[in-house]
Structure 1
Amino acid sequence: MNKRMADFESLIKSDYKNTAGIVVMQDGEQVYESYFDGYTFDDSLHVASVTKSVVSALIGIALDKGHIKSRDQKVLEFFPGYTIKRGEKTIQNVTIKNMLTMTAPYKYKSEPYTKVYASEDWTKAALDLMGGKNGVGEFKYSTVGAQILSGVLANATGRSVLDFAAENLFKPLGIKAPRNAAIHSKEEYSAFLKDKYVHGWVTDPKGTNTAGWGLALTPRDMAKIGQLYLNGGAWNGRQLLSSKWIEDSTQENSRWGELSYGYLWWIVGDKEHGCYAALGDGGNAIFVNPERKMVVAIASRFMPRAKNRIELIEKHIVPLFEGKP
C-alpha cells in the first residue's frame, strides 16, 4: 500500500470511525475496496435514507413497465379506499412527482416517527399527516411521508415492494435480495438503527416495506446501484431503467436553501460536473461523478452528526484515484 493510500485509511480510522466499508468504481471497474471496524464485504448495513433513492429507481421501473401512467398522477388515485379528512383539500392535488421532489405538504412541524411507527399501517398514517395549510410545491423533507411511495408501488404493481425490487432491480444487478424485517416495537426500531449487524428491509405490521429508511445493503450492492445510474440504466446489455428517468432524477427539481434535489437524489458538488448522490444518515452514500465515470459507495454504522461524506469523497477519495497531489 502506498503512502497516500495508507494516509487515507488512517484518516478514515481517526476521523470517520463509524465507516464500515468503501467501494470505488472507475470506468466500470472496481479500483478500491476496503472494510473497517471488523466488517467484511459480506456484511450489510442499514443505509438509512439511501433507501429513498432505491425507491425512486423502483418508481421509474414501475413507470417504464406501465404500472404507473405518469409521474403527474395524483397520489390518491392509488388509494381508492382512503377517506380524506373533512375540509382537507390540499392532499387531493399531491402528485407522485411532489413525493419524489419532497414538495408535498404535511401538517407537522417535526416528524412524528413514533406516532407513525407505532401504528398498524404506516402508509395510512403518512397519508393522514399530508395536507394542511402549506401549499403543494414547497420543499419539506419527509422520511415518514416517503412511506406513501411504498403504498403507491404496492398498489400499482399488485406486489410487495420487496418482490418487485427483487425481480426488477436486485436480481438483475446480482444483489442478494434482503428478507423482510418486521418492526413491532420502539425497541426493535432502535435495535435496527443501532445494532452492528443488520439484515433485511423493514416492513410495517401490514407487511409494507419502508420507503424512507429501513433497507440494509452491502457497499458492493450500493456501488452496483450507482454504476447502474452511471450506465444510464443499462446493465449487462439489458435496460433495467430508462436513461430519461435517470436524467430527470439527477437534475434539480426542487431546492432546500442552497441544496438541490432531484427525485429522491441529492445534486451535489459543482453543478457543471453533474455529480449526484443518495445520502443516508450516519454517513451512508452512493456518489456518482459522471464526468470522471466514478462511483463511490460508503456504508457506515449509525451515529448522530456524522462527518460530511461528500466532503470526504471530493477532497480525499476522488483525488486519490485521479493521481492528483
Structure 2
Amino acid sequence: MSSLPRSTPEAQGLSTAALDSFVAALDASEQEIQTLTLVRHGHVVLAEEWAPYRLADRHMLFSVSKSFTSMAIGLLVAAGQVSLDDQVISFFGPDELPETISDNLAAMKVRHLLTMTTGHSQDTVERLSRDRRMVGIFLGLDVEVEPGTLFVYNSGATYMLSAILQKVTGETLLDYLRPRLFEPLGATEAIWDVSREGITTGGWGLSLTTDSLAKFGQLMLQRGEWEGKQLIPADWVDAATSKQVPNDNETNPDWQCGYGLQYWRARHGAYRADGAFGQYVVMFPDQDATLAITSASPDMQATLDLVWAHLLPAFEGGKGDGTPRPQRLEILPPKGAVPTGNGRTYTFEPNHSMLAAVRLDDDGTGTFTFSHAAGLWGNPSEASQEVVCAPGDWRELTDKLTDPPSRMVTSAHADGDAFVATFRYLESPFAVTMTCRVDGDTMTIDGRNNVGFGPAEFTLRSVT
C-alpha cells in the first residue's frame, strides 16, 4: 500500500516547538479537532488524533468529495469523452429533460457545473436530495440567470457531474476512480454514498482516512503525479486549483479568494478542498506542504485563522509561542453523578433519531434501542440495535445500523434527576446528547446535536 514517509519536523525545515504550539492552539479552541496530518516536502511531520478518534478510521468528508469528483471529470476531458463546453442537457434523454428547455438551461455547460456558475440563485441540493429523480428535478428547476455570470455554491451541480460521468462511462464515480486514483494512492478504504437513483452523490458522501486525505493533498502539490505515474493530467490540476471565477459574494475572507474547478482558493497563496463542520485539505504550494484535518467545527473560518496564525510562521522558521502541547489529546466524556432509573421501557413514535425505545436501570445504565423502522423516511429494514450508555470512560461499540458498520462510543451521567446520554459517531463529526426525564408514564428527551444541517435541538416524548 502506498504511504507517505515519516520525518522529524526539523529535517523538513520546521520546529517541533512551533508544531507543538499549533497543536496546543487547536486543542484549546472551540473547534473540536478530531484528527490532523501535516505533510512537508512529501514527508509526514505531524500526525495527531484526539481520542477516541483515530487517524486510521474512515471519516465523512462532506464537500471535500467535490474535489475528487473534479479529478474524475479531468480524466474524462483528457480522454476526449467530455468537453468543458458540452451542454449539460446533451447527456440526458427525454425522460429526464423538461418539456420546455429554457435558453438558460440550454446554455448551461459542463464548465458551469465545475465552477458553480450554473445560473441558479441558490444551492439546488435541498430540492434534490430526498427525491428519487434527482437528475430530472435538477434539470427541471428554473435557471434564473445566465450561466457563467454568478457564483452560487451548488452541491447539486456536482451531483450532475457524477451523473454525466455515469452516463458517459457506464460506471459509478466511485468505481471509475478506484483503479485510477484510490488504489494507486492506497486509499482502498474509500466508500461513497449512492443516491436512490443509483448515482454516486459526487458533491458529498465520500469517506476516507486522514492519511488518504493527506496523500490526496500531496498528489495535488505534485500536479497529479504519484510514484512516477501521472494519475491526473498536470494541466487539469493547475486549472482546478486556480481561480476560475470570482466569489466576492461569499462572506468569510477565505471564501472570497476565487473558486476553481471544485476547489476553493484561500489567502496566502493556498488552495483547499473543504467540507461541512471542518473537514479540510489545505495545500500550500509556496511552502510545499499540505494539511488534512477532520473535526466538528462550529466555525470553519476560525480553524483557518489558527492555521494562518501558527503554521505560516512555522514555515518561515518560527519557534512557536512557547505553549506546550497537552500530554494527551482527547475528548473526554461528560462527567457527573451516577444516574438512576426505574427499569421501565419507554417507546417512541418514528423520529429523525431512529430511537424506538429507552430503558433506564437503577445501576446507572441506559439501554437505547435504535431501529431503521423507527426513522421517518420509511426505510423498510427492520434492523435494530440496543446501545448501552453507562457512567465512566467512553464505552466503545460498533454501530451496526450504518453501512458499513462503524465505530461509536457512549457515556452517561446524571444532571439532577435527568439521565444524560452521549453518543459519538466516530467516523463522522456527529455527536448527540439526550437528556432523559421521566414524569409518571412519560419520558421526555431533550436532544442536542453538536453540529448538523437541521435544528441543533429536538424534543422526543414517549407514547403511552
TM range (shorter): 0.7 to 0.9
Q: Which residue of 1 aligns with 2:346?
A: none
Q: For the residues of structure 2 that align with 1:31 and 1:3, how far apart are their CA atoms?
A: 12
- Offset of residue 276 of structure 1: 0.9
Q: Note if contact 2:122-2:154 (Cα within 8 Å) is conserved in structure 1.
A: no
Note if 1:144 corresponds to 2:135: no
SS at match of 1:256: coil
SS at match of 2:292: strand
Q: For the residues of structure 1 that align with 2:224 and 2:98, how far apart are their CA atoms?
A: 37
Q: More deviation in 49-58 or 252-261?
A: 252-261
Q: What TM-score do you get using the length of structure 1 for normalisation?
A: 0.85
- CA offsets 1:71-104 (integer angstroms, 9 cap, x no match): 1111112213432342622111111111111111
> Could you say what the CA RMSD is over the residues aligned between the two structures, in angstroms?
2.0
Q: Which residue of 2 aligns with 1:45?
A: 59
In the alignment, residue 324 of structure 1 is paired with which amino acid? G
C-alpha spacing 1:128/1:177, structure 2 compared with 1 (3 Å): farther
Q: Which residue of 2 aligns with 1:77?
A: 90
In the alignment, residue 228 of structure 2 is paired with which amino acid? G
Q: For the residues of structure 2 that align with 1:223 and 1:259, how far apart are their CA atoms?
A: 23
Aligned runs of 1:90-239 on 2, under 5 Å? 90-106=104-120, 109=122, 111=124, 113=126, 115-129=127-141, 131-137=142-148, 138-178=150-190, 200-239=191-230
Identity over the aligned pairs, expressed in percent? 27
Q: Which residue of 1 aligns with 2:348?
A: none
Q: For the residues of structure 2 that align with 1:118 and 1:253, how far apart are their CA atoms?
A: 31
Higher helix share: 1
Q: Note if contact 1:16-1:307 (Cα within 8 Å) is conserved in structure 2.
A: no
C-alpha spacing 1:72/1:177, structure 2 compared with 1 (3 Å): farther
| Equivalenced residues, count | 296
Q: Which residue of 2 aligns with 1:186?
A: none
Q: Which residue of 2 aligns with 1:293?
A: 288
Q: In the alignment, which of 255, 258, 261 is matched to residue 259 of structure 2?
A: 261
Q: Note if contact 1:166-1:177 (Cα within 8 Å) is conserved in structure 2.
A: no
Q: For the residues of structure 2 that align with 1:314 and 1:144, how far apart are their CA atoms?
A: 31
- Offset of residue 18 of structure 1: 2.4
Q: In the alignment, which of 41, 59, 63 is matched to residue 27 of structure 1?
A: 41
Q: More deviation in 90-99 or 251-260?
A: 251-260
Structure 1 residue runs without a partner (length 5+) = 179-199
Q: For the residues of structure 2 that align with 1:44 and 1:290, how far apart are their CA atoms?
A: 26
- Offset of residue 139 of structure 1: 1.1
Q: For the residues of structure 1 that align with 2:112 and 2:318, how far apart are their CA atoms?
A: 41
Q: For the residues of structure 1 that align with 2:170 and 2:81, how far apart are their CA atoms?
A: 9
Q: For the residues of structure 1 that align with 2:263 and 2:139, how far apart are their CA atoms?
A: 22
In the alignment, residue 160 of structure 1 is paired with which amino acid? T
Q: For the residues of structure 1 that align with 2:110 and 2:189, how far apart are their CA atoms?
A: 26
- Offset of residue 314 of structure 1: 2.0
Q: Which residue of 2 aligns with 1:10?
A: 24
SS at match of 1:260: coil
Q: For the residues of structure 2 that align with 1:110 and 1:150, how far apart are their CA atoms?
A: 17
- Offset of residue 282 of structure 1: 0.9
SS at match of 2:137: helix
C-alpha spacing 1:318/1:85, structure 2 compared with 1 (3 Å): farther
Q: Note if contact 2:58-2:189 (Cα within 8 Å) is conserved in structure 1.
A: no
Q: Which residue of 2 aligns with 1:313?
A: 307
SS at match of 2:77: helix
SS at match of 2:281: strand
Q: For the residues of structure 2 that align with 1:103 and 1:112, how far apart are their CA atoms?
A: 15
SS at match of 1:203: coil
SS at match of 1:140: coil
Q: In the alignment, which of 271, 277, 280 is matched to residue 282 of structure 1?
A: 277
Higher strand share: 2
Q: For the residues of structure 2 that align with 1:118 and 1:201, how far apart are their CA atoms?
A: 17
Q: Which residue of 1 aligns with 2:236?
A: 245
In the alignment, residue 200 of structure 2 is paired with which amino acid? N
- Offset of residue 231 of structure 1: 0.5
In the alignment, residue 239 of structure 2 is paired with which amino acid? D
Q: Note if contact 1:283-1:308 (Cα within 8 Å) is conserved in structure 2.
A: no
Q: Note if contact 2:193-2:205 (Cα within 8 Å) is conserved in structure 1.
A: yes
Q: For the residues of structure 1 that align with 2:306 and 2:193, how far apart are their CA atoms?
A: 29
Q: Note if contact 2:114-2:157 (Cα within 8 Å) is conserved in structure 1.
A: no
Structure with larger Rg: 2
Q: For the residues of structure 2 that align with 1:19 and 1:262, how far apart are their CA atoms?
A: 27
Q: For the residues of structure 2 that align with 1:264 and 1:160, how far apart are their CA atoms?
A: 19
Q: For the residues of structure 1 that align with 2:122 and 2:116, how far apart are their CA atoms?
A: 15
Q: For the residues of structure 1 that align with 2:58 and 2:166, how far apart are their CA atoms?
A: 25
- Offset of residue 143 of structure 1: 1.4
Note if 1:61 corresponds to 2:87: no
- CA offsets 1:208-245 (integer angstroms, 9 cap, x no match): 11121111121111111111111111101111111111
Q: For the residues of structure 2 that align with 1:80 and 1:126, how far apart are their CA atoms?
A: 14
Q: Which residue of 2 aligns with 1:188?
A: none
- Offset of residue 15 of structure 1: 0.7
Q: Which residue of 2 aligns with 1:185?
A: none
